[in-house]
């Protein structure tokens, strides 16, 4: 029996009804180019392999890798040993579908890592801590709306699909979980002109949540800039829509271009 390892954030899904619901949400087709992150004890791997011609898996735990090599038909599963945070998903080809029960301790860095490959991705279905999913799909001016919301919503359509209670896992985590679907927006719909600058603005704006934009963005925008953008400097970051962050970043990008 495999013992869950804390350093890898392992909680294994065991509820067969939830597993069937997740597979229904994913709707795997035989020829899909699909990769599963952290297959663990195979809760999703087995039902996915029943419907796919081939499945890629990325796994860091050597004990689980050894099981993957003996428990599954090796002509149908392609095992990539190592850390998903360092894995080059472009090597799997496009278009790609990504699924997985993500380790909750590194979920945000992983989501940003996947975003680097968005152009070659059809969709992603992930099990995450419910609180993280709520932040991903949050609307402006709500408590959950923050940096993660703004950094993902400008390039993904996202939808919370299912709630997954702690008792669906062994060992049971101390938090509720949820399934989220992420679909990359077409390149033509991504209005951000300089992604690094956008990230810088968003990070600064949310750096001190309780402060107004006048304070958090003073290194970037003057009073007249706010007036030109038609954005109230008395608002806080959580009150701005993604489109307004995009306008700020593109305004600064245009000014930098003019100055150079």
Task: Please report the DSSP string for 137-201 in residue order.
Answer: TPPTTSTT-SHHHHHHHTTEEEEEEEEE-GGGEESPPSS-EEEEEEEEPPGGG---S-HHHHHHH
* Angle, vertex CA 120, rays to CA 118 and CA 122, nearest 5: 80
Domains of the chain: 6-189 (3.40.50.150), 195-259 (1.10.8.100)
121-129 and 55-59 as β-strands: parallel, antiparallel, unpaired? unpaired
* pLDDT of 120 strictly over 80: yes
156 pLDDT more than 80? yes
| Overall pTM surpassing 0.85 (yes/no) | yes
Residue range 132-148: average pLDDT?
97
Residues 6+ apart with CB under 8 A from 16: none
Asked whether the predicted pLDDT for residue 90 surpasses 90, the reply is yes
8 Å CB contact between 98 and 128: no
User: How would residue 257 be classed by pLDDT, with cut points 50, 70 and 90?
Assistant: confident
Selection from 130, 82, 132, 136 nearest residue 106 by Cα: 132
| pLDDT classification of 168: cutoffs 50, 70, 90 | very high
The pLDDT, as a whole number, for residue 175 is 92
Q: What pLDDT band is residue 128 in, cutting at 50, 70 and 90?
A: very high
Cα angle, residue 67 at apex, residues 63 and 72 outer, rounded to 5°: 155
User: What confidence score (pLDDT) does residue 9 get?
Assistant: 45
Above 50 in pLDDT, residue 79? Answer: yes
90 contacts 114 by C-beta, under 8 angstroms? no
Question: Residues 222-248: what's their mean pLDDT?
Answer: 98
- Position 43 scores a pLDDT of 94
Map residue 89 onto helix, strand or coil. Answer: helix
- Round the average pLDDT of the chain to a whole number and report it: 94
Cβ neighbours around 34 below 10 Å, total: 23
Q: What is the CA radius of gyration of the chain?
A: 20
Taking only the tens place, the pLDDT of each residue in 1-24 is 444 444 444 578 999 999 999 999
**pLDDT above 70: percentage of residues in the chain:** 95
Taking alpha carbons only, the member of 8, 98, 6, 1 closest to residue 48 is: 98
| Least-confidence region, from 20-29, 121-130, 163-172, 240-249 | 163-172
Q: What's residue 51's pLDDT?
A: 98
């Amino acid at each position: 029996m495999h013992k869950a390892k804390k350093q890898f954030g392992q909680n294994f899904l065991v509820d067969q009804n939830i597993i069937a619901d997740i597979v229904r949400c994913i709707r795997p087709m035989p020829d899909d180019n699909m990769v599963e992150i952290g297959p663990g004890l195979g809760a999703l791997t087995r039902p996915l392999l029943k419907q796919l011609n081939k499945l890629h898996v990325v796994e860091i735990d050597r004990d689980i890798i050894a099981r993957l090599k003996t428990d599954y038909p090796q002509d149908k599963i392609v095992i990539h040993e190592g850390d998903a945070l360092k894995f080059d998903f472009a090597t799997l080809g496009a278009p790609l579908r990504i699924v997985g029960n993500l380790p909750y301790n590194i979920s945000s860095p992983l989501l940003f890592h996947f975003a680097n490959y968005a152009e070659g991705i059809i969709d992603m279905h992930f099990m995450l801590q419910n609180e993280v999913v709520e932040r991903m799909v949050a609307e402006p001016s709500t408590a959950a709306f923050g940096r993660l919301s703004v950094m993902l919503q400008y390039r993904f359509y996202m939808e919370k699909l299912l709630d997954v209670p702690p008792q669906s896992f062994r060992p049971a985590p101390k938090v509720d979980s949820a399934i989220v679907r992420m679909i990359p927006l077409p390149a033509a719909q991504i209005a951000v002109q300089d992604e690094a600058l956008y990230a810088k603005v968003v990070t600064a704006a949310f750096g001190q949540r309780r402060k107004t934009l006048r304070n958090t963005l003073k290194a970037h925008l003057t009073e007249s800039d706010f007036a030109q953008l038609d954005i109230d400097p008395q608002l806080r970051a959580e009150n701005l829509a993604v489109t307004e962050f995009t306008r700020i970043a593109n305004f600064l990008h245009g000014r930098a271009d003019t100055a150079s």
